[in-house]
Amino acid sequence: MVMVRAIIRPEKVGAVLSELSDASFPAVTKMDVMGRGKQKGIKVGDMYYDEIPKEMILLVVKDEDKDDVVKIIMRVARTGEKGNFGDGRIFVSPVEEAYTISTGKKGL
C-alpha cells in the first residue's frame, strides 16, 4: 500500500475528486492547507504573498494502483497544457499497515 498526498489549487479539487471517484478511488481525505513552493510565494503589484491557500488530498491505494492515481491527479490538477507554477506537488509514501476502526479489519 502507498499513501498519495497531493497539494493542489483549490479550484481543481472538485474535478480531481470526481475523476478519482470515477476511476474507482472514492476514499479520500481532504483538508485546507497554506504554504509556498520553490518560488517562495508570489508578488502581485506591491503585495507579497508567502502563504498561498491550497488543498491537500490524501488517499491510500494498492501499490499497483499508484501510477493510475498519480496520472489522474497530474492530468486533472495541471493548469493548461504545460502547467504553471503553483499547480502543486504529489508525494508518495509507503504504508506499512492500515486498520478499519469499526471492524478492526487490517488492510484496505
Q: pLDDT by residue (tens digit) across 53-66?
A: 999 999 999 999 99
Count of structural domains within the chain? 1
Task: Identify whether 25 is part of a domain.
Answer: yes
Q: Is residue 11 included in any domain, yes or no?
A: yes
Determine the structural domain holding residue 89 and report its residue range. 2-94
The answer to whether residue 88 is domain-embedded is yes
CATH of the domain at 7: 3.30.70.120
| CA-wise closest residue to 28 among 37, 40, 36, 20 | 20
Alpha-carbon gap, residue 85 to 5, rounded angstroms: 18
pLDDT digits (tens, 9 = 90+) for 49-101: 778 899 999 999 999 999 999 999 999 999 988 888 889 999 999 999 999 99
In a domain, 108, yes or no: no
